[in-house]
Structure 1
Amino acid sequence: MKPAALILILLTFTACKSSAPSAPSNPASTTQRASLPIGSGFDYYLLNLSWSPEFCYSHRDAPECANHSTFVLHGLWPQNYDGTYPENCSAAPGPSDPSSYKDIYPDQGLLQHEWRTHGTCSGLSADAFLSTARAAYQSVVIPQKLQTLTQQTSMSPNQIMNLFMEDNPKIPRESLAVSCGNNYLTAVEICLDKNLKPVQCGPIRACRAVIIRIPPPR
């Protein structure tokens, strides 16, 4: 075979390989979760997703209320299966650039509070902890029925958990809890292991109301 013909064949083969479609990326993939830094000194995480409309009813000027969001990240909290939870574990420095976490914490005061109170008990640096909190928040699909709420409705805690399980098939009921105050929805909490996979919750406080009210975003 002539050298020119061989070069042409090799170029054609290389072009075919490079044009093959790449696998779609998934920010919540198992591989990426497994690469997260593993915390220490606690049993599991409690991911608290606050129902923003309820908070914003009495905090209209809060930075996070400008977006008229539904569920927002309150915090990722180290927990133990005996019902205890560590808090304020050290005076470790906060993140190198707090503004880089504005997507999850528009209120920098809340960011610093969450780091000091909960993050310092994770065994992680501030940046590693906040990146883990972001990954946890982004791994949960907010139910469409709650995202598109335009007027106040009422549901039972079980109905709210059912909505989350429908849109997040990998999250079982035993990993979920609903919080309420004065018969209004305040938060949905999800128990996650240190790789952010759903696990059974320990003894955490949950809403005992039969029916709770859910105001729409303001």
Structure 2
Amino acid sequence: MTRLFVLTASRNGDGLRGNGLMVGGHSVLRAVWVGPILLALAPVVAQAQSYQCRMPRAIEAPFAERSGPVRQVPVTGYTLALSWSPEFCKGRETKRADALQCSGRNGRFGFVLHGLWPESGRTWPQWCPTRNRPTGIDIARQLCLTPSARLVAHQWAKHGACMVKRPETYFKVSRILWNSLRWPDYDRISRQKGLTVGDIRKAFLTANPGWKAEALGVHLDDKGWLEEFKLCYGRNFMPTRCDRARFGAKDDAPAKIWRGL
């Protein structure tokens, strides 16, 4: 088992302790299995599965307005939701609201981080009250991982505030989880004849020893195109079985992967 350790300074009430990162009483660094690391965490901005990502160092932080009820319930696990960017950007290439991700001017993206979501059995916590908001620098650091300032701010306000006290801690957890993953060549896999969801899952599992098929949700749109992965974690940040909703399509389902061409 490979383990990742990052030296961090202690901060009272921040969830950072010694050389580990604590969330909900559990150490992310000690609990998560990690494969070979794509990038060093410390001073480096985490990258999405991207080509030549070019983002500003700081931006104006958007305000995320609450769009649902406050729900404060115990956290029992987590979902790392990863969107397949070429499918999302289909038809959005010229839309101003999606320019960072879809215009091509800031790089081209494969999988990007939709969000890190706390779970609670058959429901989930959301919109937990907080006075803390991410700064423009906090958001800019995430843009090569989640190329939408609006979405980064929304994910903290809706989900992150139910996990930790500070947005920088929430974003750091997401980067640790992201940097533990390796990516197969889904461009090549997309050209495979008779492609199925099982082929898509198998490629990810081969690249990430230690993950099991039941912990990887694969979601298709209503026409069979790949939309999103949902990686399921227990409260201790170890991969765990997804429930039916997060698991998505079964292995024998036909699948297609849009390459953005």
- Structure 1: stretches of 5+ with no match in the other structure: 1-27
> Superposition pairs for residues 107-186 of structure 1, below 5 Å?
107-144=148-185, 146-148=186-188, 155-182=195-222, 183-186=224-227
Contact 1:75 1:114 survives alignment (8 Å): yes
Instruction: Within 5 Å, give how 1:171-210 maps onto structure 2.
Output: 171-182=211-222, 183-194=224-235, 196-205=237-246, 206-207=248-249, 210=253
Distance of 2:194 and 2:150 partners within structure 1? 32
> Is it true that 1:90 corresponds to 2:129 in the alignment?
yes
Q: Is the 8 A contact 1:152 1:213 kept in 2?
A: no
Contact 2:128 2:161 in 1 (8 A): yes
Query: Which residue type is aligned with residue 132 of structure 1?
Result: V
Which has the higher Rg, Structure 1 or Structure 2? Answer: 1
Task: Within 5 Å, give how 1:2-151 maps onto structure 2.
Answer: 29-32=3-6, 35-39=20-24, 41-61=74-94, 62=98, 63-65=100-102, 66=104, 67-80=107-120, 82-96=121-135, 97=137, 98-144=139-185, 146-148=186-188
Where 1:58 maps in the other structure, the secondary structure is coil
Quote the Cα distance in structure 1 between the aligned partners of 2:205 and 2:160.
27
How far, CA to CA, are the matches of 1:154 and 1:48 in structure 2?
26
Return the TM-score normalized by structure 2: 0.64
RMSD of the TM alignment (CA)? 2.6
Q: Give the direction of change, closer, same or farther, for the CA distance of 1:126–1:95 in structure 2 (3 Å limit).
A: same
Indicate the percent of aligned positions where both proteins have the same amino acid.
Answer: 26
Structure 2 unaligned segments of length 5 or more: list them: 8-18, 26-73
Report which of the two has the higher share of helix. 1
Number of corresponding residues: 189
Q: Distance in 2 between matches of 1:151 and 1:29?
A: 34
Q: Give the Cα–Cα distance (whole angstroms) in 1 for the partners of residues 210 and 174 of structure 2.
A: 19
